[in-house]
Structure 1
Amino acid sequence: MEFFKQTELPGIGKRFSIKLSSGQIVSVIIHHSGKREIYVLDEEGDVECTVTLTDQEAREMGMVLAGAFYQPVEGDKMQMLLKQLVMEWVELPEQSPLIGQTLAEADIRKKTGAIVLGVVREGEIFPAPDPKNFRFKAGDIAIVVGNREQIDKFIKTYSIK
Structure 2
Amino acid sequence: MVEVIESTLPGVGRKYIMKLRSGGSVTVISKPDGTREMYHFKGKDDIPCDTVQFNPEEAQQFATLLGANFSKPALKEEIELVLGKLQLEWITLSEGVSCVGHTLGELNLRALTGASVIAIMRGDEAIPNPQVSEVLQLGDTLVLIGNDLQIKKASVLLM
Same fold (TM over 0.5): yes
2:42 aligned partner: 42
Is there any run of 5+ residues in structure 1 with no aligned partner, and where? Answer: 99-110, 120-125
Per the alignment, do residues 5 and 155 of structure 1 end up closer, same or farther by CA in structure 2, a change over 3 Å counting?
A: same
Q: CA RMSD in A?
A: 4.1
Deviation of 1:61 (Å): 1.9
Runs ≥4 residues deviating over 6 A = 69-73
Take 1:114 and 1:140, find their aligned partners in 2: how far apart are those partners? 18
1:15 aligned partner: 15
Deviation of 1:3 (Å): 3.9
Identity of matched residues, %? 20
Take 1:151 and 1:57, find their aligned partners in 2: how far apart are those partners? 34
The equivalences for 1:9-158 within 5 A come to: 9-43=9-43, 44-67=45-68, 84-90=87-93, 93-96=100-103, 112-116=116-120, 118-119=121-122, 126-127=123-124, 129-131=125-127, 139-146=137-144, 147=146, 149=150
Deviations 1:120-152 (A, max 9, x none): xxxxxx24x2549xxx87752212233453585
Deviation of 1:60 (Å): 2.5
SS at match of 2:49: strand
2:108 aligned partner: none
When you count helix as a share of all residues, which structure comes out higher?
2
Is there any run of 5+ residues in structure 2 with no aligned partner, and where? Answer: 106-114, 129-133
Counterpart code for 2:64: M
Counterpart code for 1:87: W
Say whether the 8 Å CA contact 1:86–1:151 is kept in structure 2.
no
**TM-score scaled by length of structure 2:** 0.58
Counterpart code for 2:36: R
**TM-score scaled by length of structure 1:** 0.57
Per the alignment, do residues 7 and 151 of structure 1 end up closer, same or farther by CA in structure 2, a change over 3 Å counting?
A: farther
Per the alignment, do residues 140 and 17 of structure 1 end up closer, same or farther by CA in structure 2, a change over 3 Å counting?
A: same
Of 8-17 and 45-54, deviating more is 45-54
